[in-house]
Amino acid sequence: MAFTWFHKLGSPPYAYALAARLTPWFGWTAALLIAAGLYGGLVLAPPDYQQREAFRIIYVHAPSAWMSLMIYSTLAISAAVGLIWRIKVCHAIAASCAPIGASFAVAALATGSLWGKPMWGTYWEWDPRLTSELILLFLYLGYMALRSAIDEVVRADRASAVLAIVGIVNVPIIHYSVEWWHSLHQTATVMKLAKPAMPPAMLIPLLMMLLGFTLMFFALLLVRLRAEILRRERSARWIREALPA
């Protein structure tokens, strides 16, 4: 059958072994890409004509913001798959996604406000993108709070999956209402960030960082997934066989 690989992925021992095998590949590729991207972005790329050296924080900020959103969709999709087809590994993936995504959201907010100090003259501006990011962080926190409030694993999985699905339906609505809210209450124009095409010396490191962060997320996810599977299956026999005593 063409779909046997998919069923195999749903089995915790197989997923555990596969995650262990894949982690170094993702991890090392991510480390190389991030090292190269940081060198390219922080050393080789020319300073921006308007923002000078301060623009370089984009090499951490933009990938973090991108990851926080991508991880939320990953979380919601795998939670939905787990809810619909009752695949335990998918719930484990969703559970492992949440803390990573929340950390990226915090990183995006922190780097955003650090960049805001020299650019806007203030650490926090109610900019629509910063506001949306903050709300995304609250969504992550709510998801983790619900999960930790329910003791039974199966019930926690399924309840938090419903929350994740409701959240992902709402994310675009929240995003656009925040933009709309901001355009109505536009105060002093903070700074016109007209986007000229980035020169390749700036863009290539950014793309490398983006890819590197994505692979880093996969590596982190696989490590967390293995821990999550171990915790959930701690009484299963295969674990005693798979792990050296």
Partner 1 sequence: MNTAPAPASALDAAQLILQRDLILAFRKRGQIAQPLAFFAIVVTLFPLAVSPELARLREVAPAALWIGALLASLLALEFLFRDDAQDGTLEQYALCGHSLTWLLFAKTAAHWLMTGLPLALIAPLAGLALGVPPGSGSGIVAAVTLGTLSLSLLGAIGAALTLGVKRGGVLLTLLTLPLALPILIFGARATELAIRGADFAAPLYLLAAFAVLGVTLAPLAAAAAVRINLE
Of the candidates 9, 35, 141, 201, which one interacts with partner 1 according to CB under 8 A? 141
Q: Does 101 bind partner 1 (CB under 8 A)?
A: no
**Minimum gap (Å) between residue 70 Cβ and partner 1:** 19
Q: Does 85 bind partner 1 (CB under 8 A)?
A: no
What are residue 46's phi and psi, to 5 degrees? -70, 150
Q: Does 135 bind partner 1 (CB under 8 A)?
A: yes
Q: Does 84 bind partner 1 (CB under 8 A)?
A: no
Q: Count the alpha carbons within 13 Å of 238 in the hemisphere toward its beta carbon.
A: 11
Of the candidates 158, 191, 211, 239, which one interacts with partner 1 according to CB under 8 A? 158
Q: Does 79 bind partner 1 (CB under 8 A)?
A: no
Q: Which is nearer to partner 1, 45 or 139 (CB)?
A: 139
3-state secondary structure of 52: strand
Q: Does 162 bind partner 1 (CB under 8 A)?
A: yes
Q: Which two tokens stand for residue 80?
A: 């939905």
Helices within the chain (DSSP H only)? 4-9, 12-39, 58-85, 88-120, 128-149, 153-184, 200-232, 237-242
Q: Which two tokens stand for residue 178?
A: 């925040």
Cα separation, 116 vs 110, in Å, equals 10
Residues near partner 1, by CB under 8 A: 135, 138-139, 141-142, 145-146, 149-150, 152, 154-155, 158-159, 162-163, 165-167, 169-170, 173-174, 177-178, 180-181, 184
